[in-house]
Amino acid sequence: MGYPANYRYTKEHEWVDAKDGVATIGITDYAQSELGDVVFVELPEAGKKLETGKSFGTVESVKAVSEIYAPVSGEVLEANPALHNKPETINSDPHGAAWMVRVKLANPAELEKLMDSAAYEAYVAAKGKEASA
């Protein structure tokens, strides 16, 4: 699975798809493969304010729980209702159907600090080498 060219990425393996002042956020294919089969997702309600770098939810597999960190700041417009009943979507379609929250961007300039798809792919490839070393 590739990493969509128009998304931006964080070191904590979140992706951001920004359009017209609204950001859609999820976790990457790398993140879901590290976690294993996802069993549960905890997401914030609409209206919650996100702060860059702070945790806003969790993703659970059988053996591990991971925090999800806000890549940008803003107000949550909507959390993906489908993930509650079908958390496994995160494993099958992490970059599309498994979007987690839509956020009204407080400061669009924050997007510049994130990696583009090429940088993220290189970052993940380096991690892969580390793991098997």
Of 65 and 122, which CB lies nearer to another protein in the complex structure?
65
Q: Give the C-alpha separation, 92 to 133, whole Å.
A: 28
Of 37 and 116, which CB lies nearer to another protein in the complex structure?
37
Of 45 and 112, which CB lies nearer to another protein in the complex structure?
45
Residues recorded for the chain: 133
- Distance in Å, CB of 66 to another protein, minimum: 10
Of 40 and 53, which CB lies nearer to another protein in the complex structure?
40
- Distance in Å, CB of 59 to another protein, minimum: 10
- Distance in Å, CB of 53 to another protein, minimum: 18
Q: In what order do the strands lie in the sheet with 74-79?
A: 8-9, 14-19, 22-27, 101-105, 74-79, 49-50
- Distance in Å, CB of 67 to another protein, minimum: 9
* Interacting residues toward another protein by CB under 8 A: 36-37, 39-40, 60-65, 87-88
Largest CA distance in the chain: 44
User: Do 52 and 14 form a contact (C-beta atoms < 8 A)?
Assistant: no
